């Protein structure tokens, strides 16, 4: 028996527990932890937007504020997405556990274990990348201090160079520099953990969906193997019908599970994709703007943000493309086997898969986005178009 919580999602569980979003074992402490994390993330976005109140709002300044504020707003949206949908996350895990419990064949268990291993491997790689990115982002503001010890810069010069994210706390920022820096670091750590934990959780579910489609293909191939077809007796007819039925059943469950996954987070995914395009445009513009101003620390910060946004959008759309590819593979498997030699009842069930597969199965978000590599190209192209427009108006 496979326990997906401890075997496939153990690292995801640890990450979600760290920020109070694991859907099981809720307590008062976890409730306090959740409110604290959400409050820290939300307050940082607010303190960035308050800078628009106390400073003269030029186009450059507005773009500078929103280029980072929207990114940190990502964290708030994603955190809130899992917080208010805790019951949906728990339901998804329970459905996935139920599907795994029904798998008895050793080869099928090997398939689902393989995709569970892929889940752990992807989570580990993404977590390591998040740790390195967070460490770089934390080190970036204090890099002038390191240089200051070498170049003998004074404290005011160090602090003026160190603050790359525009905020307004309504206090003396030089006096409370280290408290502001602590708040910024806390947001980066919580935000990176949120982005990694939630993203890899959804990615893990999608990887298991691909595993279900793979099992459906395997069951069709086994049912329509040469040995079974060449010796069709009553026993083999019953066996073929049973295997085709199980193939149709897990194919149906995979599609249903996908629909539940998308419908649970549809609104949040729509916001993330929309803000992703806007944020990508603003940060690409900020890169070119800071290059002209020779502000190297700000350039590095915005390059890191652009890379993370592109990576997040790419992984999201690549996962959606993989679901479509695996669904198509089930259709091609059913189409290419010698279904016409199967018993009549089995032919009717195979026809059900062919009818479902004749229309490409997509991860459709609110009827506006079809999550695929083509969608990633479209979003990137839209971001570049908005950047080009902004850059041309500033010349």
- pTM of the predicted model, to two decimals? 0.88
- Tokens representing residue 146 in the block: 């390191």
| pLDDT at residue number 348 | 73
Query: Which is higher by pLDDT, 237 or 52?
Result: 52
- Is residue 355 in some structural domain? yes
| Of 229-238, 327-336, 372-381, the least confident | 229-238
pLDDT band at 383 (very low <50, low <70, confident <90, very high): very high
pLDDT digits (tens, 9 = 90+) for 57-90: 787 888 888 888 998 998 999 999 889 988 889 9
- Is residue 227 in some structural domain? no
Cα gap 344→323, rounded to integer Å: 30
Total structural domains within the chain: 1
pLDDT band at 358 (very low <50, low <70, confident <90, very high): low
- Tokens representing residue 305 in the block: 């943000």
H helices, E strands: number in the chain: 15, 2
Q: Give Cα 275 to chain centroid, integer Å.
A: 14
Does 46 have pLDDT greater than 70?
A: yes
pLDDT digits (tens, 9 = 90+) for 219-266: 888 877 656 666 666 666 777 778 888 888 888 899 999 999 998 888
Q: Average pLDDT in the 13-42 region?
A: 90
Does 117 have pLDDT greater than 70?
A: yes
Cα gap 133→77, rounded to integer Å: 20
- Is residue 301 in some structural domain? yes
Angle between helices 296-336 and 59-84 (to 10 degrees): 40
Other Cβ atoms closer than 10 A to 339: 20
| pLDDT at residue number 40 | 94
Domain residue limits at 34: 4-222+232-393
Give Cβ neighbours of residue 146 (< 8 Å, ≥ 6 apart): none
Cα angle, residue 304 at apex, residues 283 and 178 outer, rounded to 5°: 95
pLDDT band at 157 (very low <50, low <70, confident <90, very high): very low
Does 395 have pLDDT greater than 70?
A: no
Nearest CA to 302 out of 281, 285, 280, 287 is that of 287
pLDDT band at 368 (very low <50, low <70, confident <90, very high): confident
Strands annotated E in 240-322: none
| pLDDT at residue number 208 | 94
Per cent of the chain over pLDDT 70 is 87
- Is residue 371 in some structural domain? yes
Cα gap 48→166, rounded to integer Å: 6
Query: Which is higher by pLDDT, 294 or 39?
Result: 39
- Tokens representing residue 333 in the block: 């498997």
| pLDDT at residue number 230 | 61
- Is residue 213 in some structural domain? yes
Does 156 have pLDDT greater than 80?
A: no
Burial of 27 (0-12, 13-18, 19+ CB in 10 A): exposed
- Tokens representing residue 93 in the block: 């895990």
- Is residue 207 in some structural domain? yes
Beta bridge partners of 364: 370
């Amino acid at each position: 028996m496979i326990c997906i919580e401890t075997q496939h999602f153990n690292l995801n569980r640890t990450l979600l527990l760290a920020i109070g979003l694991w859907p099981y074992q809720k307590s008062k402490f976890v409730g306090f932890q959740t409110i604290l994390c959400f409050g820290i993330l939300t307050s940082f976005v607010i303190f960035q937007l308050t800078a628009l109140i106390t400073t003269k709002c030029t186009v450059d300044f507005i773009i500078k504020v929103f280029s980072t504020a929207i990114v940190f707003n990502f964290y708030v949206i994603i955190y809130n997405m899992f917080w208010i949908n805790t019951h949906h996350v728990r339901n998804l895990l329970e459905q996935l556990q139920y599907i795994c419990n029904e798998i008895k064949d050793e080869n099928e268990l090997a398939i689902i274990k393989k995709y569970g291993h892929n889940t752990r491997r992807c989570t580990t790689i993404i977590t390591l990348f998040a740790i390195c990115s967070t460490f770089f982002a934390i080190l970036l503001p204090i890099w002038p201090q390191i240089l200051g010890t070498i170049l003998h810069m004074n404290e005011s010069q160090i602090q003026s160079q160190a603050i790359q994210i525009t905020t307004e706390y309504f206090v003396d920022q030089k006096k409370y520099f280290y408290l502001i820096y602590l708040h910024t670091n806390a947001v980066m750590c919580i935000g990176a953990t949120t982005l990694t934990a939630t993203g890899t959780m959804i990615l893990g579910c999608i990887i298991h969906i691909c595993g279900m489609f793979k099992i459906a293909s395997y069951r069709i191939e086994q049912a329509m193997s040469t040995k079974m077809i060449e010796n069709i007796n009553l026993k083999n007819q019953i066996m073929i019908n049973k295997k085709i039925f199980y193939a149709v059943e897990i194919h149906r469950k995979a599609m249903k599970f996908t629909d539940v996954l998308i419908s649970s987070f549809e609104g949040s995914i729509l916001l993330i994709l929309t803000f992703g395009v806007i944020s990508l445009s603003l940060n690409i513009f900020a890169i070119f703007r800071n290059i002209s101003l020779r502000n190297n620390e700000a350039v590095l910060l915005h390059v890191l943000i652009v890379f993370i946004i592109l990576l997040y959008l790419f992984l999201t759309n690549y996962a959606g493309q993989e679901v479509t590819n695996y669904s198509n593979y089930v259709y091609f498997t059913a189409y290419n086997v010698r279904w016409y030699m199967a018993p009549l009842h089995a032919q009717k069930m195979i026809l059900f898969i062919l009818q479902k597969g004749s229309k490409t199965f997509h991860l459709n978000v609110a009827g506006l986005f079809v999550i695929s590599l083509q969608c990633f190209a479209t979003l990137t192209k839209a971001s570049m178009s908005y950047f080009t427009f902004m850059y041309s108006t500033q010349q």
